[in-house]
Structure 1
């Protein structure tokens, strides 16, 4: 028996056990009418099961009908991605890696095959978010509703909507698998290299082209923007099925509102040391810290006395071995937080208190 079949069999076992347990409970009676009670219970169960399935299907269809018209396909040069209509004025929020270096775009809505033109308002690669605006707003354009992502819970049913592999208006289904994930993008294949905190992990299929689309709950509210799919090094870094990540809706709204109001991000909420760094390796060619290449004048590191040439080994209680690990440690902090930085200078280890700045 192969592994896949073993796993499938094991998944069926709890269902069978549960069914037996229910039968035993419903049949427990000292009355002579126990047989009639069992028959009535069985009939009720048969009636409830299809009703529950029908109700869930109806909920899916309602959400898709209400939300899908607010999900668009975005063409940036030769690349395709997705976006969400943010408001009735034609503003669309998407991923920064979807817009790339482009300034103008072709946007196709769910209700039309004719592409509309749009222009870039602002791109913020550090959070992998961007806003574009339609040059001409079609009648009936409706912005999606965004949920409070702090209320997102593991186990919630979600739908991912977008244009995977160029297939516009596609929908996949899954659950929220985890919350609070910190994930770092690569810079290959158009990634921004951003480290993003508090991401929502989902089992809904996330494929190339889904980026910038909508992860939606059964209340018809956007809880996140699908952005990344995990890769499996054991399979040649191909996509790991059922492990995708979405930028939470509350962060999306915070960044998008600033862009719409000011034309840029004025308050990132992202902590920073104020350095330019690079990963260094030890004598065994293993990553061993972050060398400070340059220090921003007046920044957190500068005020703490950190200098170019220092090698950062630890932030607070977190070991730092690479520039990515430093970014991930900072993602867990906020501007104004106080922490310690442990570093080496000319072979001697030092430790200083730092008040973190803003990225």
Structure 2
């Protein structure tokens, strides 16, 4: 499975065919509950179609969350590219994806409550986690910061709303569920991608389209559980989008990175595990990727302390086979600095396994 970034160029024209159908089903036994009967009677008295009470409650939740959170989601326009962002605090800091800001330093920002563009400047971009923070040059009155959730409490099956500017359509909302947690996804470098390998991502069925990058994935408590970043693509469809498979950077990682950028102007504690090596993908005699060749060992780093040397070929981390730099990054993405792990490697044709304490990237 491949993934693609979700930013886009500002569209010069947009043609949309919309087909919406909602079916509300409440039982198939031919009899109505007292609550449903009351809802039906009330609807008959007012001349409106009957709607089950549970559906009314869910719709009310949607409306409440959208009204509460959408003002905290903005549209970000660089010189050519467009994406989304989330208001981080009342001082005008906005968190977004690093691939949205690219190499730009200044931006135009449009809030949900105004069509007038505001100017903003880059504070710091952290491509390793595909996150960045920009700051409004002038903070408008009533700017409302979003509330970030505890990522540990995100569960599969939770209803979520994705908010952003897909295809340049500002303040758009799509709905889905949390499909999975703990996903590790690698982003390509083509087309301005950062090449980041990101762990613990939230997978969602909510539609994530170009322009959603940097926006908000929100639960029904009105909390941002993640920053939509990637959409899956299907190579069998010519690289087209795989419907219903999108990924968001978890809110806890967003907070870890953004707090450092806001308070220190840069990221000093990545929270990302590393072996402390410079490596390259090793190709065997059959021209197949077969490991990671150690080019250089960082003095005093995790690999150095464990006895690895230049020329060693890493083939496994714990129980995960390592065939390339990408698989090595994916194996380490969900680990933390200070965590113990085992590394299997070959040296002069002989296989060895050592234990090491992971360092920090």
Give the TM-score normalised by structure 2: 0.86
More helix by share: 1
Partner of 2:233: 231
- Which residues in structure 2 correspond to 1:192-271 (within 5 Å)? 192-271=194-273
Aligned partner of 1:167 in structure 2 is 169
Instruction: Select the residue among 337, 340, 344 that pairs with 1:338.
Output: 340
SS of equivalent to 2:59: helix
1:44 Cα deviation after fit: 4.7
* In 2: Cα distance, 1:273 partner to 1:336 partner: 11
Give the structure 2 partner of residue 72 of structure 1: 74
**What's the offset of the Cα at 1:243?**
0.3
Aligned to 1:114: 116
Aligned mates of 2:342, 2:33 — CA distance in 1:
69
Displacement of 1:234 in angstroms is: 1.3
The alpha carbon displacement at 1:89 in A equals 0.4
Determine the structure 2 residue equivalent to 1:43. Answer: 37
Q: Secondary structure at the match of 1:352?
A: strand
Is the radius of gyration larger for structure 1 or structure 2?
Answer: 1
The answer as to whether partners of 2:125 and 2:133 remain within 8 angstroms in 1 is yes
Shift in Å, 1:345: 2.0
Q: Distance in 1 between matches of 2:342 and 2:53?
A: 58
Q: Does 1:275 align with 2:277?
A: yes
Counterpart of 2:17? none
Counterpart-to-counterpart distance in 2, 1:205 and 1:190: 22
1:290 match: secondary structure:
strand
Pair 1:141–1:289, CA change in 2 (3 A): same
Count of matched residue pairs:
331
For the 8 Å contact 2:39–2:52, the answer to whether it is kept is: no
Q: Does 1:89 find its partner at 2:91?
A: yes
Q: Separation in 2 of the partners of 1:219 and 1:82?
A: 21
Deviations 1:155-185 (A, max 9, x none): 1111100011111111111111111111111
The worse-fitting range, judged by mean Cα deviation, of 56-65 and 196-205 is: 56-65
**Aligned twin of 1:308:** 310
Per the alignment, residue 31 of structure 1 pairs with: none
Could you state the TM-score of these two structures normalised by the residue count of structure 1? 0.87
Q: Deviations over 1:278-325 (max 9, x none)?
A: 212222222111111222222111222222222111112211011111
| TM-aligned CA deviation for residue 333 of structure 1 | 1.7
Contact 2:275–2:358 under 8 Å retained in 1: yes
Match of 1:130 in 2: 132
Q: Shift in Å at residue 65 of structure 1? A: 1.3
Q: Give me the CA root mean square deviation.
A: 2.1
The CA deviation at 1:58 is 2.1
Query: Structure 1 residues 345 and 70, CA, compared in 2 at 3 Å: closer, same or farther?
Result: same
Identify unmatched segments of 5+ residues in structure 1: 1-11, 27-37
The counterpart of 2:191, out of the listed 189, 192, 197, is 189
Cα distance between partner residues in 1 of 2:168 and 2:287:
42
Partner in structure 1 of residue 159 of structure 2: 157
CA contact (8 A) 2:182 2:199 kept: yes
Question: Bigger relative contact order, structure 1 or 2, given CA contacts below 8 A and separation 6+?
Answer: 2
Deviates more, 1:336-345 or 1:49-58: 49-58
Describe the SS at the equivalent of 1:229: strand
Secondary structure at the counterpart of residue 62 of structure 1: helix
Whether the 8 Å CA contact 2:39–2:53 is kept in 1: the answer is no
